[in-house]
Structure 1
Amino acid sequence: MSLLPTLAESAARARSDLRVGLPVVVGGHLAAAVETLSADRLAALRAAGPAVLAITARRAETLKARAYDGDLARVRLDDGAGVEWLRSVADPSADLMSPLKGPFFTDRGGDVTPHRAALGLAKSAQLLPALVMVPVDAAPKGLTALPAGPLLAQLAAEAALAPVAAARLPLASSHDSKLHIYRPADGGAEHYAVEIGAPPRDRPVLARLHSACFTGDVLGSLKCDCGPQLHAALGAMGEEGAGVLLYLNQEGRGIGLANKMRAYGLQNQGFDTVEANHRLGFEDDERDFRIGAAMLRKMGFGEVRLLTNNPRKVAMMQDHGIAVTERVPLVVGRNRFNDGYLAVKAEKSGHLL
């Protein structure tokens, strides 16, 4: 086996590089995340060639910038565009205070595969999807370099999961519980499976896919129903004496805690959950529920009674080899602070509440 990194390993390295402010090379383009970009590195990027700001079509729509490339836009940078201006374009927090940031002139034509791949990489690093990009003839020595097309395919692929550790862990809902840790081969966050009792593998198991919610699960936030759903699901499994709760580290519908807090800030300005995600440059939901199906298969389960109000989770399970014999409703935690949030879940995301 070669000692050189695989594409997945190089992508993991590139995510770390972007998060600390280093540019990477994607398909012959220098790419640096606006969120972590310093003034010195911006000057060095601009000295390397003509720079553009790559943003998603969702963010471009808010900015009234033409997205000629379909799912993304390449905004030309004028001579006076510094780090502060770039961040004001990438981050919608101050949009209502300074709504007239344009006019924006965007490029059209040519291959945008490098820009699309770089935006996907930034999303997977849980950074704002906005990058300064500059075409270069040769990758500067020392920077992580990735081919654009294969990187896109790698980002879309289902990550292989490996069990790392498991141990008995008595819980308030059930003293007979076990916690399993799974680690993805692509360097992403670990995911957890809480096994209640000893559920038989030849019958449908009571199961829940639960996305991490630090604010709701840990702090008891009233802005969502996540904490009550987590504890109600564990309680139902404890009462039944068997079940599996999959705790997926996909905070904020997959955009990460920092971006989730940005979305909360936008919600405080009057935008709903979906609108806030779009203004940040993300889709309604960036989670990958294939992870849950893979974990169940590794644990030996092929059929579930799924605790969920989300039909998308049912469809995803069935599309990836896990039969859903019953959808078990989990309608808990409504209060005056999250009533609007739950209404948007039902209206725009199809949740059955």
Structure 2
Amino acid sequence: MNSLPVQGQKSTNADASGTLPPLDPVRTRAVHRAVGDARRGVPVVLAGQHPLIVVPAETVGAEGLHLIDRLGSSGAMLLLAPSRAAAVLQEPLDETLPAIALGLTRPLIDVATLRRLADPTLEQIMPGFRRVAPPPLAEAALALGKQARLLPAMITAPVRPGWASLPLGGGLLAVPAADLLAYNRNVAATLHRVAEVAVPLDDAPDARLVAFRALDQGIEHMAILVGDPSAQAAPLVRIHSECFTGDLLGSLRCDCGPQLKGAIRRMAQEGGGVVLYLAQEGRGIGLINKLRAYTLQDRGLDTVDANRALGWGADERNFHIAAAMLAALGLDHIRLLTNNPEKTAGLAACGVDVVERVPHVIAPNGVNDLYLATKARRFGHLLD
């Protein structure tokens, strides 16, 4: 599933000239702990001028709701991405705000209903809600859910002053909201090589794997080196986001498996090249959310609208990671194997010199025809 955002879609691929506060190892570990707590349904306090206590609707349990209720200084609310809120409220889409907030009454609504509100693949029961003004840190709250690869639907409330000294506040983590927003750029800046080994492949007997990991990060990205790409003035490069269903299982729903194998075969024929295999499943939304998006596609949505119905953007990937990997491999000039002109622009914004776009068209198989047509129509891929 390899594409960049549709026109007008907000992207995580910020311009390389943008300035974000650097994260030291201690602050990076705090972001990782916040992500882990979110996945376990443990509330986290977002520090800032108007701090919030927040927990994902997807993972929250009775204890998490109790903490929100007791440590919140005022009414709790459910934060949703605008695209998800439009369906819940049955209103036109409004993307002028980073999030839409729905007020929750006390006692807080039950866990099962909250999960239905977060997940459009579940049976929908839509109780009446009143819209309230989203808090200033709403964007960071949704960012925490996305970093955890959960549905971006968060239960939150302004946290009481002195919350940390209250009996229920002990042990809860506070993390600066700005650090959550800065994380994607910072994780790329700390990427480094951790392992390299020869792995002969069917179509490339001289292939090598180079593994990359970021500071305090458990997620690894791989570079598949075919031949000697450094011997070429501008080697062929393919940026390929991992696709469990297509690459490993041979799913016919996408063209990812044939693209990956075809790229390696072509690079071997040319005597060298690099496939950057990025751990950014489903355009950055994660495997579970990609499967949810498939469910929505089976109900009639295309790949763009399915992602957006879940509350995610059409593309959530961080291509600064690809730029950092190329720099570590010493590749300053590349020919990019892609059908997407916007991908060359995204890499150029990250400082990569793409001297040529090389087409990589895979014929439809009778199952993925609509998927490929959506790529052309909504992402601008050149498939002719």
Indicate conservation of the 8 Å contact 2:319/2:350, yes or no.
Answer: no
Alignment of 1:205-216 (within 5 A): 205-216=235-246
**Separation of aligned partners in 2, 1:297 and 1:177:** 19
TM-aligned CA distance change 1:58 to 1:157, over 3 Å: farther
For residue 148 of structure 1, what is the amino acid of its counterpart?
A: A
> Could you list the per-position Cα deviations for residues 37-83 of structure 1 after superposition, in whole angstroms to 9, with x for gaps in the alignment?
11232133223332111111121122237769712011111246111
Among all aligned residue pairs of Structure 1 and Structure 2, give the percentage whose two residues are the same amino acid.
44
* Aligned pair partner of 1:70 in 97, 101, 105: 97
Alignment of 1:41-60 (within 5 A): 41-49=64-72, 50-60=75-85
Q: Which residue pairs with 2:10 in the alignment?
A: none
> Could you list the per-position Cα deviations for residues 259-287 of structure 1 after superposition, in whole angstroms to 9, with x for gaps in the alignment?
00000000111111111111100010001
SS of 1:92's equivalent in the other structure is: coil
Indicate conservation of the 8 Å contact 1:250/1:256, yes or no.
Answer: yes
Q: TM-score, normalised by structure 1?
A: 0.92
The answer on 1:133 being equivalent to 2:161 is no
Q: Which residue pairs with 1:269 in the alignment?
A: 299
For residue 141 of structure 1, what is the amino acid of its counterpart?
A: G
Q: Which deviates more from structure 2 when the two are superposed, residues 218-227 or residues 115-124?
A: 115-124
**Separation of aligned partners in 1, 2:67 and 2:98:** 28
> Could you list the per-position Cα deviations for residues 71-104 of structure 1 after superposition, in whole angstroms to 9, with x for gaps in the alignment?
201111124611111111100013xx54x61432
Shift of 1:186: 5.3
TM-aligned CA distance change 1:308 to 1:155, over 3 Å: closer
SS of 1:53's equivalent in the other structure is: strand
Shift of 1:19: 0.9
**Separation of aligned partners in 2, 1:156 and 1:240:** 33
**Separation of aligned partners in 2, 1:70 and 1:52:** 16
SS of 2:29's equivalent in the other structure is: helix
**Separation of aligned partners in 2, 1:251 and 1:154:** 18
Shift of 1:134: 2.1
**Separation of aligned partners in 2, 1:35 and 1:41:** 11
Shift of 1:6: 1.8
Indicate conservation of the 8 Å contact 2:199/2:206, yes or no.
Answer: yes
> Could you list the per-position Cα deviations for residues 170-223 of structure 1 after superposition, in whole angstroms to 9, with x for gaps in the alignment?
111111111000001252511000111112356101110000000000000000
Q: Which has the higher contact order (CA 8 A, sep 6+)?
A: 2
Shift of 1:307: 0.6
Q: Which residue pairs with 1:82 in the alignment?
A: 110
Let me know the Cα RMSD of the aligned residues: 1.9
**Separation of aligned partners in 1, 2:95 and 2:193:** 44
**Separation of aligned partners in 2, 1:151 and 1:219:** 34
**Separation of aligned partners in 2, 1:128 and 1:317:** 27
Indicate conservation of the 8 Å contact 2:76/2:105, yes or no.
Answer: no
Shift of 1:169: 1.1
Shift of 1:321: 2.0
For residue 350 of structure 1, what is the amino acid of its counterpart?
A: G
Question: How many residue pairs were aligned?
Answer: 345
Q: Which residue pairs with 1:112 in the alignment?
A: 136
**Separation of aligned partners in 1, 2:309 and 2:324:** 32
Q: Which residue pairs with 1:7 in the alignment?
A: 27
Indicate conservation of the 8 Å contact 2:239/2:322, yes or no.
Answer: yes
Indicate conservation of the 8 Å contact 2:43/2:67, yes or no.
Answer: no
Q: Which deviates more from structure 2 when the two are superposed, residues 152-161 or residues 165-174?
A: 152-161
For residue 203 of structure 1, what is the amino acid of its counterpart?
A: A
* Aligned pair partner of 2:264 in 223, 234, 239: 234
Q: Which deviates more from structure 2 when the two are superposed, residues 311-320 or residues 39-48?
A: 39-48
**Separation of aligned partners in 1, 2:340 and 2:215:** 28
* Aligned pair partner of 1:18 in 38, 41, 64: 38
Q: Which residue pairs with 2:63 in the alignment?
A: 40
Q: Which deviates more from structure 2 when the two are superposed, residues 66-75 or residues 299-308?
A: 66-75
For residue 251 of structure 1, what is the amino acid of its counterpart?
A: E
SS of 2:84's equivalent in the other structure is: helix
* Aligned pair partner of 1:152 in 170, 181, 187: 181
SS of 2:58's equivalent in the other structure is: helix
SS of 1:166's equivalent in the other structure is: strand
> Could you list the per-position Cα deviations for residues 242-300 of structure 1 after superposition, in whole angstroms to 9, with x for gaps in the alignment?
01110000000100000000000001111111111111000100011111111011100
For residue 326 of structure 1, what is the amino acid of its counterpart?
A: E
* Aligned pair partner of 1:310 in 300, 324, 340: 340
Alignment of 1:318-333 (within 5 A): 318-333=348-363
SS of 1:36's equivalent in the other structure is: coil
Alignment of 1:184-199 (within 5 A): 184-185=214-215, 187=217, 189-199=219-229
TM-aligned CA distance change 1:218 to 1:305, over 3 Å: same
**Separation of aligned partners in 1, 2:99 and 2:216:** 25
TM-aligned CA distance change 1:310 to 1:186, over 3 Å: farther
SS of 1:61's equivalent in the other structure is: helix
Shift of 1:5: 5.9
Indicate conservation of the 8 Å contact 1:308/1:327, yes or no.
Answer: yes
SS of 2:365's equivalent in the other structure is: coil
